[in-house]
Amino acid sequence: MTAPTGAPAAAGHTTRGAARLLALRTAAPETVVTQRDAFEDHYREMFKDVPKAEEIFRGSGVTQRHMAWDPRTAYADGFPPIKPRMAAWEENVLAMSRRTVGGVLEAAEDRDRVGTFVLASCTGYVGPTPDILLAKEFGLRQDLRRTFIGHMGCNAAFNVLKTAFDALAARPGELVLAGSAEVCSVHQRPEYTAEQAVVNALFGDAGAMTLLAADDGGPGPVFLGTHTETHPETLHAMSWHIEDLAFRMTLSPYVPFYLAESIEPFVKRLLAPHGLDAGDVAHWGVHPGGPKIIDFVGEKLDLTDRQLASSRAVLAEHGNCSSATILLILERILRDARPAPGEHAVLMAFGPGLTMESALVRF
């Protein structure tokens, strides 16, 4: 999506190339596991030979998580092979997406206007992909354009949104479904290291869906533009591979430091085309890859505790839910911060590459 240059448009005026948020819904598995219970009943024994395991779990910023597979029961008798893991992924992606897709379609006066459906998930694979099954269940039109985005990690929601923005730019009379669903809990591995303790302390399950339209000056948040950067010199810092037993994530403890070095010029390049700087932005959604990422980004951008509250709250109540997380944060900003018309938000997430993604929103 090509963003306009110069000063941002006033509320109530259309912005060429922008996308308006008509609806946003989130969902998560019913099972809620507290961090304390998970550690005491399962992870303490699992990571008994990792000296700082308890410190890692207590310092994660996570209070509880929604988990399709409760680790205390799912892994009580060992580690299942990949087949049941993928079956659980598919079942839960569909269950969460039925709730989120059904919720946002309530805002569509004519669902035949939905011409594009973009869905991301990096925690599993199946064909036909879940978007096909969901389109059939909800009676979406036969010529629906569908894109399934996989294996792009925590920043994938931005790839979903950018695909949606392109669709709206090409066909502004249509509506777009755009979202993600992640089931991280099915990928616990028999690997007893501090790095894997961090992974097991952070990740939870969730889904989110948006309904988007080309901006027509109506009410609701408007996505004004996006900015992406990839820093290939840090390719080693974050990875996600399929192995015989499960998917395997690596996460370098230096990721927060890499981001801290890059975040100020990154944000400037997002905001400058709109005549804004960081001080003009009231609301911030920082993907909580871990508590240090929130801390370091907040410090570098001189953000207040209030501006970081939505990111910390989602980390505490859901953990890091990969690509769904940033939409959980946007929902929290809308619900709790209650932005005033004309205020701006910056949303950002980080994934393998090291890839940095961002979007500018005007409320």
List the chain pLDDT tens, one digit each, 363 residues: 333 333 344 444 456 669 999 999 999 999 999 999 999 999 999 999 999 999 999 999 999 999 999 999 999 999 999 999 999 999 999 999 999 999 999 999 899 999 999 999 999 999 999 999 999 999 999 999 999 999 889 999 999 999 999 999 999 999 999 999 999 999 999 999 999 999 999 999 999 999 999 998 877 799 999 999 988 787 777 777 788 888 887 777 777 788 888 899 999 999 999 999 999 999 999 999 889 999 999 999 999 999 999 999 999 999 999 999 999 999 999 999 999 999 999 999 998 888 999 999 999
Largest Cα span, the chain:
60
Instruction: Give the pLDDT score at 63.
Output: 98
- Which residues, in sequence order, are CB contacts of 262 under 8 Å at separation 6+? 229, 231, 356
Q: Which residue has the tokens 């985005």?
A: 149
**pLDDT for 16:** 61
Residue 352 pLDDT = 84
Nearest to 176 by CA among 224, 129, 218, 119: 119
Class of domain 219-362: alpha beta
Give residue 249's pLDDT.
77
Residue among 323, 338, 324, 223 nearest 283 (CA): 338
State whether residue 298 is helix, strand or coil: helix
> Is domain 24-214 in CATH 3.40.50.620, yes or no?
no
* Per-residue pLDDT, 148: 97
User: pLDDT at position 5, please?
Assistant: 32
Q: Is 260 left (phi over 0), alpha (psi -120 to 50) or beta?
A: alpha
**pLDDT for position 52:** 95
Distances (CA, A) of 302 to 81, 110, 254, 283, 333: 46, 44, 21, 12, 19
Residue 10 has a pLDDT of: 44
Q: Give yes or no for a contact between 60 and 202, defined as CB atoms under 8 angstroms apart.
A: yes
Distance CA 352, CA 354 (A): 5
Q: Which two tokens stand for residue 296?
A: 């370091």
| Segments in the chain forming alpha helices (H) | 35-38, 44-46, 53-58, 71-74, 82-105, 130-137, 156-170, 194-202, 255-271, 291-300, 305-318, 325-332
Distance CA 297, CA 342 (A): 24
- Helix and strand numbers (H, E) in the chain are 12, 13
Residue 63 to residue 154: CA distance in whole angstroms? 20
Start-end of CATH 3.40.47.10 domains in the chain: 24-214, 219-362
Q: How far apart are CA 230 and CA 253, in angstroms?
A: 18
Q: How far apart are alpha carbons 112 and 144 in whole angstroms?
A: 9
